[in-house]
Amino acid sequence: MTAVYTDDKDQQWMQLALNLAAQGRFSTSPNPHVGCVITQGEQIVGQGFHVKAGEPHAEIHALRQAGDDAQGACAYVTLEPCSHTGRTGPCARALIDAGISRVVVAMQDPNPQVSGQGLAQLQQAGINVVCGVLETQARALNSGFLSRIERNRPYVRLKVAASLDGKTALSNGQSQWITGEKSRDDVQTLRAESCAVLTGINTVLSDNPRLNVRRFPTLRQPLRIILDSRLRLTPEYQVITDSTSPTLIMTTQTQPQLLARFAAYSHVSVLSVPADEHGHIDLNRLWPLLAQRGIGLMLVEAGQKLNSALINAALVDEIIYYQAPKLLGQTTHPAFCLPENPHALQHTPWLSHSVTAMGQDCRWILRHEDSATWLNTTLDDTI
Ligand SMILES: NC(=O)c1ccc[n+]([C@@H]2O[C@H](COP(=O)([O-])OP(=O)(O)OC[C@H]3O[C@@H](n4cnc5c(N)ncnc54)[C@H](OP(=O)(O)O)[C@@H]3O)[C@@H](O)[C@H]2O)c1
């Protein structure tokens, strides 16, 4: 499907549709974030976004608002309209039935149930179809959904809160708090956007975090995932006592009596997964497993051991690095503990997406070059 005709106006309306789509970023998963704007000439006659799986898609909200004004109108949609009947009816059919004459789409839906069929259906009905307007931004907005469908793994953001000398905890393990309130508020937003927040058992044993979203209490809570090969976790920790979010403990243990340790807690489940050659959880086999459980966007908030293992295994798409103006000195807790890399002086695969002041701290967002290539995105993709 190629763009037939597109101009600044198309980009302007599509940008509005993307802004609408972004409003669903705390609630739509496992579904994608989608926005729709319907125009008659210079006038917007309908607009909407997908709010939640099982509820109407963006096109349906916009069509309902447009009513009879949809006849002969142009629809801007951030993702190819669906052609199948899922929990809601097919949107391509709804656009045809409403008499829409032109449909501009940001990107094709990689979901095998749609994948070009929605666009074909519209064209067969005689509708003028344009695809690929602001595709870069549309892909970046749905990185979690796309990663799950196209790569069978979550899109992984690894968050680090570190001092100026790159340390993430004092030698006694204390890390609360290295960064300031603004950075910590920002992490709450990252958690709220994520399907899951994953950490290593040492962080749970040392910090006893809740790993939930407290700043926006009405929002859906992400799944908490704890990697605990030997099942060292016991019921007194907050990831168990706090039932506001579900907790999934991944372990290599298989004995039924161990796996039943948290049976009394309905929000806690334990899953036995394969071990790697060192007896830790096999991270390469974990990612597909999480994608199959509907995890798209995932935030990692772990210590240097798990962070380093994930970077070494090339399982991280973005590093979100909060740096505080503090010098912690000779602690044993650097952010990463990686083998020496002399090539790093010539080339870094980590591309700087943005650098933002967060009160006294600074936040870097870095994207791995392979992830940028896969997303087919430039670094200028902020909605
Ligand atoms: N400032 C920050 O941003 C931040 C964030 C989080 C934590 N921290 C600090 O980090 C410290 C803990 O760091 P840490 O490095 O000891 O712990 P960690 O990275 O949180 O957890 C490491 C543990 O995860 C388990 N694990 C399971 N599968 C693994 C795999 N494939 N590869 C690696 N680990 C795997 C391992 O234990 P088993 O194999 O026995 O399960 C391993 O010992 C704490 O002091 C905490 O305060 C700082």
Q: What was the pLDDT predicted at 282?
A: 97
Q: Please identify, by atom number, the ligand 1 atom nearest to the C-alpha of residue 175.
A: 47
Tell me the per-residue pLDDT of 60-105, one tens digit each, with 9 for 90 and over.
999 999 999 999 999 999 999 988 766 666 888 999 999 999 999 9
- Pick from 225, 285, 306, 333 the residue to mutate for probing ligand 1's pocket: most ligand atoms within 8 Å of its CB: 306
366 alpha carbon to ligand 1 midpoint, in Å? 21
CA distance linking residue 30 with residue 49, whole number of Å? 15
Is residue 59 part of the annotated active site? The answer reads yes
- Pick from 170, 201, 289, 336 the residue to mutate for probing ligand 1's pocket: most ligand atoms within 8 Å of its CB: 201
Tell me the per-residue pLDDT of 333-363, one tens digit each, with 9 for 90 and over.
899 999 888 888 999 999 999 999 999 999 9
Residue closest by Cα to atom 11 of ligand 1: 303
Q: Please identify, by atom number, the ligand 1 atom nearest to the C-alpha of residue 160.
A: 3
Q: What length is written for the chain?
A: 383
Q: How far is CA 78 from CA 56, 108, 136, 339, 375, in A?
A: 15, 9, 11, 42, 15
Catalytic one among 59, 135, 193, 301?
59
Tell me the per-residue pLDDT of 20-72, one tens digit each, with 9 for 90 and over.
999 999 988 888 999 999 999 889 999 999 988 888 899 999 999 999 999 99
163 alpha carbon to ligand 1 midpoint, in Å? 18
Q: What was the pLDDT predicted at 4?
A: 45
- Pick from 172, 175, 208, 305 the residue to mutate for probing ligand 1's pocket: most ligand atoms within 8 Å of its CB: 305
57 alpha carbon to ligand 1 midpoint, in Å? 40
Q: Please identify, by atom number, the ligand 1 atom nearest to the C-alpha of residue 179.
A: 1
Q: Please identify, by atom number, the ligand 1 atom nearest to the C-alpha of residue 305.
A: 15
193 alpha carbon to ligand 1 midpoint, in Å? 23
Q: What was the pLDDT predicted at 116?
A: 83
Q: What was the pLDDT predicted at 62?
A: 95
Give the H or E element holding residue 105.
strand 102-105
Strand order in the sheet with 361-368: 268-272, 247-251, 223-227, 196-200, 297-300, 155-163, 318-324, 361-368, 350-358
Mean pLDDT score of the chain: 92
Is residue 282 within 8 Å of residue 276, measured between CB atoms?
A: yes
Residue 382: pLDDT band (50, 70, 90) is low
Q: What was the pLDDT predicted at 379?
A: 57
Strand order in the sheet with 102-105: 43-49, 35-40, 74-77, 102-105, 128-131
105 alpha carbon to ligand 1 midpoint, in Å? 43
Give phi and psi for 59, each to the nearest 5.
-60, -40
Paired tokens of 368: 């791995």
309 alpha carbon to ligand 1 midpoint, in Å? 10
Q: Please identify, by atom number, the ligand 1 atom nearest to the C-alpha of residue 162.
A: 1
**Could you report how far apart the first and last alpha carbons of the chain are, in Å?**
24
- For ligand 1, residues with CB inside 6 Å are 160-161, 168-169, 173, 175, 178, 199-203, 206-207, 227-230, 276, 280-281, 283, 301-306, 309, 333
pTM of the model: 0.94
275 pLDDT more than 90: yes
